[in-house]
Chains A and B, each alone.
Chain A
Amino acid sequence: MIDIAGLDVKYGAKKVLDAITFAADKGRFVGIIGPNGSGKTTLLKTISRVLEPSAGIITLDTVPLDQMKSRELARLLAVVPQETGTGFDFSVGDVVLMGRYPYIGRFSKETVEDDLICCKAMELTGIAHLADRPITEISGGELQRVIIARALAQQPRHLLLDEATSHLDISHQVEILATIKKLSEEIAVIGVFHDLNLAAYFCDEIVVIKSGKIVTAGPPEEILTPEMLRTIFDLDASVSIHPVTQKPVIVPIPGGLHKTGEKL
């Protein structure tokens, strides 16, 4: 359970997050949406302790974030960031094995169990065949799946995704998100989404952020309305319930709904 209460974050004097309060528990995949620069990535960075809040409290399974040791936090929480550095040519397998770091003592070696956990993570993300390839020579989409596998190897109880599937093609996007959706039955997942249809399909709850504040939150079918899209995203769009998935589907309509209606 990730519990966030009254969270403020400042860059210098500028407040980029203002009184953010919400919670994510296992069994409920929480999606965060909002326009560019609204503070979504800042929020994830604060939950993963890359940034320090100026006020408020975050707890993981009731333990305050600032009272945890670095390794302890990494055993509880894994993060799939938007971009990852690939300075040196480590193999895919080596990078996934880095996910076991918080479990391995300074004077000990990786065990067979560590290897098994990594193999399973690579199979779940469909990259087992890449294990020996250098990460400097694989595609952006493959790298993203490597980082997701690394996060799974941490065996976290909480998972943060920052547009974790943005570089993937559509079939891998759906496949990976379905895997994560299944995981979310056991672990708490918060994901930042740009693709509103993916958010609508996979998330159980949507949190809308604009200018560092939560505007509204709730189930996708209640939150994703043409009115919200116009006021928050400045977008004219139609929203309908898809007959097969029973989930909201958003179709942008450039020029506006009524104009198109007039032409018809």
Chain B
Amino acid sequence: MHKGYAVITGLAALAAAVLVVSTGFGPAGIPFLGMPGGDTASLILFDIRLPREIAAMLVGAGLAAAGVVMQAMFRNSMADPYLLGTSSGGALGASLAIVLIGGAFHSVFAFAGCLIASFLVYGIAQKGGRVKTEQLLLTGIAISMFFSAILSAIMYSSGQNLHQILFWLMGGFWNISWSDALLGLAVIPVSLILLLFSRELNIFSMGEDDAIHLGVNVDRLKIILLALSSLVTGICVAIAGCIGFVGLIIPHIVRLAVGPDHRFLLPASMLAGGILLVLADTIARTVGNEVPVGVVTAFLGAPFFIWLLKRRYSA
């Protein structure tokens, strides 16, 4: 039997444990088990912490799924929705919704922003259907900077929404309600569809020409995968803003444990991404006076990214 089954089972158990423990962990000092009772305690547990942890779990899973798919698609282990500018497109979309129509449909706007950003980056970076690492990363940075500039302009000209917009840039789970957690559930069906493309994702790693030789409809598949990974990223950004590096770190670590087969890599990465983000959020809300979780993941992720780059160029 493939070792992936054992890893996935272990990660699922760990995810459940982390969810329970971190829900019982916070500045108000209310444990999940043996709670003292009372309306305030139950309110903090079930209406503030629990939806927040569930949302963090689902967003972490979604970002990891998007990272896995983008890395396979671009045959590039440096790909990640944050680095490629997808998330910044989502943040811009959500901010536009806040400024223009008072925040209505912000998740739709976030998704549209992600989609536009992804296709822009791919369209600019590709040459004859092929994408070079340097091209991809630099185009991602350029598009990110461009979208951030528009975002800054919007922030500058609309003082009263500043705090709300700032939230999309830094990423966090401050005001998570049950409706956010429910929106996060949409990550699951989209990921299940992605899982159906595991075989194609495996074949993609052999190169696009080989994928054609083996019977993959490459042009169509690229559009489907880019749209689905943008959709997952859009859901995540709509809930928690731009959180970087989960989609970069997780697939690397999980690949070491389960190997490159996407039938195992994708679900295992989603569980691991969920666990990482719940832990990062627990740190974020207990250290000092609540730091944005995006700051925590960047603290972990940026050194990892530099290590990857160094390893790439020394190989």
Is there a chain A Cβ closer than 8 Å to B212's Cβ? yes
The 8 A CB mask of A81-104 against B (1 = contact, 0 = none) is 100111111100011001101101
The distance from the CB of B258 to the nearest CB of chain A, in whole angstroms, is 12
CB interface residues, B 165-222, toward A, < 8 Å: 196, 199, 202-203, 205-207, 209-210, 212-218
| Chain B neighbourhood of A106, CB < 8 A | 196, 199
Q: Are A101 and B260 in contact (CB under 8 A)?
A: no
Is there a chain B Cβ closer than 8 Å to A209's Cβ? no
CB interface residues, A 10-68, toward B, < 8 Å: 45, 48-50
Q: Are B260 and A50 in contact (CB under 8 A)?
A: no
Q: Are A101 and B209 in contact (CB under 8 A)?
A: no
The distance from the CB of B4 to the nearest CB of chain A, in whole angstroms, is 12
Q: Are B202 and A90 in contact (CB under 8 A)?
A: yes
CB interface residues, B 106-145, toward A, < 8 Å: none
Contacts A70-B216, A94-B261, A154-B214 given; indicate if A45 touches B203 (C-beta within 8 A). Answer: no
Assembled-state Cα–Cα distance A87/B197 (Å): 18
> What size tier do the contact residues of chain B reach?
20 to 34
Q: Are A101 and B215 in contact (CB under 8 A)?
A: yes
| Chain B neighbourhood of A101, CB < 8 A | 199, 203, 214-216
Is there a chain A Cβ closer than 8 Å to B102's Cβ? no
Stretch at the interface among A71-79, A195-203, A226-234, A243-251: A71-79
Assembled-state Cα–Cα distance A207/B45 (Å): 77
> What size tier do the contact residues of chain A reach?
20 to 34
Assembled-state Cα–Cα distance A78/B210 (Å): 10
Assembled-state Cα–Cα distance A69/B213 (Å): 12
Assembled-state Cα–Cα distance A107/B196 (Å): 8
Q: Are A49 and B199 in contact (CB under 8 A)?
A: no
Is there a chain A Cβ closer than 8 Å to B49's Cβ? no
| Chain B neighbourhood of A89, CB < 8 A | 259-260
Q: Which of A74, A85, A88, A150 contacts B260 (CB 8 A)?
A: A88
Q: Are A70 and B217 in contact (CB under 8 A)?
A: yes
| Chain A neighbourhood of B52, CB < 8 A | none
Q: Are B205 and A87 in contact (CB under 8 A)?
A: yes
| Chain B neighbourhood of A50, CB < 8 A | 209, 212-213
The chain B residue with its CB closest to the CB of A100 is B214
Assembled-state Cα–Cα distance A49/B207 (Å): 15
Q: Are A49 and B212 in contact (CB under 8 A)?
A: yes
Q: Which of A71, A84, A86, A88 contacts B215 (CB 8 A)?
A: A71
Binding site for B on A (CB under 8 A): 45, 48-50, 69-75, 77-79, 81, 84-90, 94-95, 98-99, 101-102, 104, 106-107, 150-151, 154
